[in-house]
Amino acid sequence: MTVVEVQGVRPIARPETRTLAATETARMVAALRALDPADWDAPTDCPAWDVRAMAGHVLGMTEGFTGVRRMVSMFRAGAKRAGDGPLIDGVTAVQVEANAHLGPAELIERIAAAGPEQARWRATRRVLRAMPTKDKQPDGTVETWRMGFVFDVILTRDTWMHRVDLARATGRAPDQTPEHDGRIVADVVAEWARRHGRPFRLQLTGPAGGTFVQGPGGGEELALDAVEFCRVLSGRATGKGLLTQRVPF
């Protein structure tokens, strides 16, 4: 089994950004198309959302990053709704409410239509990539990100994690491949390692998994499913030791 030094995991950047984004949205569309009518009312790991509401958020995030005016309008409406709270909470609330009237077929077709354009738009921004944005973390701290990080990493991670939410809510296994899901997970591992900075050996099982190490040895040894690892780091499940280090999704 190949052991990967996390320092050698290359950051996700253009032009790979476009391929990962397009593939992830296409897989979300395929997963939504496979649902039965009753599945749309199933609760998800996002406490306020059932599957229909989650799809409304995914649609809002997909269409919201297909143009400057759409993006600015989305953030302005979200900021107004959020008030003194986290901006992302306001943005997602506006998205879910705006799309609540749509039926499953229209939700799916609009995500499918916007997916390729969103992937192209995100990968071709230049000036916007340097623009700073604030993100409030679960512990109350505020991080400053560049929009390039949002375009290249966060938006794809967000859809990927919601595809996991969808699978769990409906009792279906998510479609996973080493080339796509494994790449997203490896990037999460690398960021997690940078954030805590301590030595470890991590064995992740499943199609998206692998074995990762940091440091000369003597650190924590961890073994768990790759998807569950990401669920823990996103706050959807609990962990101990180094697994208490959160990573944004």
**78 close to 94: Cβ distance less than 8 angstroms:** yes
**207 close to 178: Cβ distance less than 8 angstroms:** yes
Mean pLDDT of the region 105-115: 98
Mean pLDDT of the region 11-35: 97
User: Would you tell me how many other CB atoms lie within 10 Å of the CB of residue 247?
Assistant: 21
For residue 113, pLDDT beyond 70: yes
Note the pLDDT of residue 1: 66
Predicted confidence band at 135 (pLDDT cuts at 50, 70, 90)?
confident
Mean pLDDT of the region 85-93: 94
Note the pLDDT of residue 141: 87
Residues of the chain above pLDDT 70, percent: 100
CATH code of the region 13-170: 1.20.120.450
Q: What is the DSSP code (8-state) at residue 50?
A: B
Note the pLDDT of residue 28: 98
Farthest-apart Cα atoms in the chain, separation:
55
Q: What does the block give as tokens for 246?
A: 């959160």
Query: Which ranges in the chain are annotated with CATH 1.20.120.450?
Result: 13-170
Distance CA 232, CA 241 (A): 12
